[in-house]
Structure 1
């Protein structure tokens, strides 16, 4: 079946935007150029990849005795050779106070991240070559999986219990750092569809958005599943970046009757390194600008997947998949795609002039074809207040909303199911999550973050499993919790 004409029109609009965005960024460069009569300020020295003492930025190590913070001299010794390691532990208690698909209750989950970075120019003498490896030890039970059953994960660390490799890559820079190629095991959510002002929030949808997580095989190349890939980046000007990447199309491999339906269990340790799946390709243009001295970023991008995707409503006999007279085998569509935009804007800057302090807003939107995807439209937005409380320059407070619309094809299947079974069950429509959170800095490298979330129509409004008649949709969920993050 052909992809919707409207989506092709939107793709054309995005293509025009990607073409025009460089012109906007170049104009911003021209506007930012200093007056010839005025002395230009000296450029800031780039921050070194490896700290001289081997201690990562914002680490509790700076508050510990030097022997412990420096790992008894190991950090300095490795830094002298071009390497730096670190650990980050995130632990959180979350409670589902009301609603959800299964039950109320509380959980604890945690994630230990281990990171090794290397400046290989310093280590082995190859200019512009760097490396990065990180791995996770994930434990506990996820609230979304075990209690609520919603599409937008309550926590961005929720994953199946495992010790797993995440990313492992080399990056080679060219043209004085204006171009780079990164290759190895990569995750798309580390560079694509990202928002700087949305990084405060805990819900997973404000990272890798639900529309890509729900529609791509195994959730796509994103936490906790990275996959082999190559990423190319070009910075034609200081205000413009162009990125493109190709990934193996399924980080866990396809499900079948003989393996685990959970993709995270199919690639439980992150070392499958699959290369045989049809590719996933994503590209993005990023433009920076200023309005009245307030920094902003606009991003336009799109992705395509070359695999096959099952129709959400109709079988190969053109009958509904809910029709008992049909064969029940879904049409397999060739390929899939999505287009998206990201907007970050500072709307108030503190008198100190720090770029990451003040008030900032963000918004993202994305669409995908309805016939082959569970989610066809997604939008989120939020506001972030950082350093606004006197005496608390590193605290942040924010409110954000995410909305995922169930595709018309998936909704149609719900209608068909009711029709052919003479039932009156709920029809899925959309899921909306509202989050409010406050990030409290205890000391360098240690933060506490209370969090509140309200989930409207979990999973789009599926039937409540506790209703014997199947007439009621699952109740809206109320979630509260506390996160602790320690970086060493």
Structure 2
């Protein structure tokens, strides 16, 4: 349909989650999201040397449950968000220099391009799609779904092996304070997704991609970082703040083995680190996993096993100790998942997760220690 100039895409996702073991209390939860996107190829539509225009919106339903009763660093599901209907992305893109340089400007989800592992996207825990470090250390959990940000993104393709990406964005599109106890994700400050704030700071991303085959097995290796010019609260005294913030990261996506034509084993590992331990809740995070594509002779299915951790700042641990609270340390998350591609348009995904030491060891609202958690989920997605 895009060959004629316009393509409309609709995706509906629904999830059921149960936490019978651990956390602050046992719970059962439903969350869902419907996304509608219209892509317009202006060159195909008009015949003029123009690019692509994209607009999308999403309707989010259900009640978030990862802050309470789970008390985890990152969301259990990568669609979990506050209950709103909102504008998602709005952008224009154009290619130059024989399509080597791709320019995009508008309201962007930078998680599509930066800090992302293609193998990690097979998992449901949000930490595998958008890392714990960026989620906790940037404003509004970072410029990712459902909160997008005004930005410019450049991609330069030097060769088949080398890609270079750069983005300059607003670091706090909602304009809310970094810490908001009544609305931790700040999404309800801008429920429609139409607010544009340019008063706090700028966020810059840079990333280099290198692709190569090793003995016929494809690998992609990424090295990147971000720099934020805004102000961030001190982790030991929230009355203080610090100017600027930064982090670096590396990602490896690698095919390990082919088993005939239909089945292959892929793996990923990703590490994130920042030296600004006084202004960041998470100072380093590591995650990784394996994904078997085409198990049991089913070409489009995926079986995945992943694990990761996020380590809290020593400044935050010191503040906890002074307050007589357990010192936050390291949270560990594990996931076993299976994607069943029942039809070309319907995918079903049962999922099991385990969280060890939620938020590095914290107390719930009743002053009780939050216990290790077992979480069971069922994800369904319909795409048109």
What residue number does 2:206 align with? 283
The structure carrying a bigger helix percent of its residues is 1
Q: In the comparison of the two structures, how many residue pairs are matched?
A: 382
Alignment map for 1:39-438 (pairs within 5 Å): 54=1, 79=2, 81-101=4-24, 103-127=25-49, 129-255=51-177, 262-313=185-236, 321=237, 329-330=239-240, 332-352=241-261, 357-368=263-274, 369-390=276-297, 392-418=298-324, 425-438=325-338
TM-score, normalisation: structure 1: 0.76
What residue number does 1:28 align with? none
Contact 1:128/1:177 (<8 A) preserved:
no
Q: Which moved more, 1:449-458 or 1:408-417?
A: 408-417
Give the superposition deviation at 1:92: 0.8
Contact 1:96/1:143 (<8 A) preserved:
no
Which digits, 9 at most, give the CA deviation of each residue in 1:416-445, with x for residues without a partner? 222xxxxxx421101111000001111111
Cα 1:457/1:260, change in 2 over 3 Å: closer
1:479 and 2:358 aligned: no
TM-score, normalisation: structure 2: 0.95
Aligned to 2:98, the other structure's residue is in SS state helix
What residue number does 1:460 align with? 360
1:450 and 2:373 aligned: no
CA distance in 2, matches of 1:312, 1:275: 25
Structure index of larger Rg: 1
Give the superposition deviation at 1:270: 0.7
Q: Which moved more, 1:222-231 or 1:268-277?
A: 268-277
Structure 1 stretches of at least 4 aligned residues deviating more than 3 Å after TM superposition: 256-262
Aligned to 1:473, the other structure's residue is in SS state coil
Give the superposition deviation at 1:262: 4.1
Cα 1:485/1:253, change in 2 over 3 Å: same
Unaligned runs of 5+ in 1: 1-53, 55-78, 314-320, 322-327, 419-424
The structure carrying a bigger strand percent of its residues is 2
Give the superposition deviation at 1:100: 1.2
RMSD: 1.8
Unaligned runs of 5+ in 2: none
Cα 1:475/1:411, change in 2 over 3 Å: same
Aligned to 1:194, the other structure's residue is in SS state coil
